Amino acid sequence: MEGLLRVYFDGRPYRPPRSRFEPPAGPAAAQATALAIDLNQVTPDWPTFWRAVQRQLTGHRFRRSTLTVYRQILRAFRTFLDRRHRRPSHPGLATREDARSFFALLADQHASWSWLAANICVLRTAFDKLGGRALTARIRTPKRGRRLGDILAPAEANQMIHAARTVRDRLLITLMYGCGLKTGETCRLRWRDIDTEQRELNIRFHGDTQTRTIRIPDALLPVLDAGIRQCEPNAFVFPGAKPDTHLTARTVERIVRRAARDAEILKDVSCTTLRDSYAVARLRAGCHIRELQETLGHKKIESTLRYQAYLPPAGYVSPIDLPEMSAAAETTDRVEEQDAQPTAQDLAERLPSLPANELQLPFKPPAGRAREFYLALKTQLKKRFLALRRGASPSCPP
């Protein structure tokens, strides 16, 4: 059992259950932990097993809401075991095949990745770490897939900055877009972290244990220089409503979304959008990927490499711009027109030579069709409503 506790079942080093509210333990306590109840030696019932698990989790400072989720998932697993074995079950009856079937059932029910990951973590903590079993061995918890979000063009970011309602909001949006700051880093920024003489911005992250330096844009130097002269060094750049507090992340998100709405930007803009737009703009300007990683504060290079998906391949040329397309367009112009309406192939061949001033955007829908449809629908609904008020049976529309 000592070797089981020191090395996890799939070869990874064992980590005891620890809440984020629990202070970090020493290296000796991180290698081993006491079992809540050894399911290999005893066969307790479910209430006894839950009380033992709850006692250990409470000792590790798990919150009450987390214990509620643990109890909910263990109850669902107990119901699954009862139906699978067709008799009342106990925790010692659970096997690795039962756990895999339980997870497969959740996947068949189209459970989200977060709920499936929560079920795996609960059974891993309750049975493997605190029960001495190996139900979730070789099972990895799913992670949320990263999708590519919207990226703002420099002109759109400029519109957002000018659409901000106050000077504070303009400075906030300019810092996030011009320096690639995270929401929490922007909120916790103090005047002492700004050095206008060296044009450097010292950002503390990872619980103020690490610091990275970012170059301040030229447009922000006058405003930041005035703030350094007029404000206390320890004061927050964006103070909150209460003394010695800063703006919350929710307030910053609301400011960014309101500026995007006032600028009439149709993209889904958030604080992360400004940071991603900064990274893509730096790459398009020729920034090295390693330098961008240091600027953004990414621990792994894979987090920075995902921004390369926004860049076209080197030497990319659209098929429309190829010389063969232009030659085909000239040949098509010399061919006698067969039909009154050109085909799709003819339009594609003539597209490179189409003058830009003849193209009217945005494309408008056919006039009158939509209005006539909604007027007819409104008339039919009104007839049915009036018929119901008179108590008569409404006539079906033709």
CATH class of this structure's domain 154-310: mainly alpha
Across 42-56, 162-176, 285-299, 306-320, least confident range:
306-320
363: which DSSP letter? Answer: P
* Dihedral angle sign, alpha carbons of residues 171, 176, 181, 183: positive
Contacting residues for 373 by C-beta, under 8 A, at least 6 apart: none
Contacting residues for 224 by C-beta, under 8 A, at least 6 apart: 194, 196, 216
φ/ψ (deg, to 5) at 239: -70, 155
Its pTM stands at 0.55
The domain spans of the chain are 2-129, 154-310
Decide which of 148 and 324 is more confident: 148
Determine contact, residues 186/252, Cβ cutoff 8 Å: yes
Mean pLDDT of all residues in 290-309: 90
- The two three-digit tokens of residue 58, written as one number: 């409470």
Across 25-34, 172-181, 252-261, least confident range:
25-34
Q: Would the pLDDT of 76 be above 60?
A: yes
CA distances from 38 to 49, 131, 132, 257, 272 (A): 10, 5, 6, 53, 46
- The two three-digit tokens of residue 41, written as one number: 């030696």
Diameter of the chain measured on Cα atoms: 91
Determine contact, residues 102/80, Cβ cutoff 8 Å: yes
HSE of 15 in the Cβ direction (CA atoms, 13 Å)? 7
Cis peptide before 342 (omega within 30 of 0): no
- pLDDT the model gives residue 222: 83
| Element holding 327 (H helix, E strand) | helix 323-334
**pLDDT tens per residue, range 174-183:** 999 999 999 9
Distance CA(362)–CA(26), nearest Å, equals 64
Mean pLDDT of all residues in 3-9: 45
